[in-house]
Amino acid sequence: MKGNVAAIVLIVLGVFFLLTNLGLISISLRELLRVWWPIALIAVGVALFFTPGGKGR
């Protein structure tokens, strides 16, 4: 699951930067991160929750 999450994040970031460079969207990454940074914490928590073979299991 951890590898899949990293792959999805890279794909989403790549699409975002491509659309920004093509002028199809005009969203500031700084503003986006300033508002939505907690979603990164949630994503890491969900990824850790579903990672098999964790210690203590």
Q: Is residue 55 part of a domain?
A: no
Residue 37, domain extent: 2-49
Q: Based on the number of CB atoms within 10 Å of its own CB, is 40 exposed (0-12), middle (13-18) or buried (19 or more)? A: exposed
pLDDT given at position 8: 82
Cβ atoms of 4 and 51 closer than 8 Å = no
Taking only the tens place, the pLDDT of each residue in 4-24 is: 777 888 888 899 889 888 999
Our count of domains for the chain comes to 1
**Higher-confidence position of 2 and 35:** 35
Q: Is residue 41 part of a domain?
A: yes
DSSP collapsed to 3 states, the chain: CHHHHHHHHHHHHHHHHHHHHCCCCCCCHHHHHHHHCHHHHHHHHHHHHCCCCCCCC
Taking only the tens place, the pLDDT of each residue in 20-52 is: 889 998 888 788 888 888 888 887 888 778 777
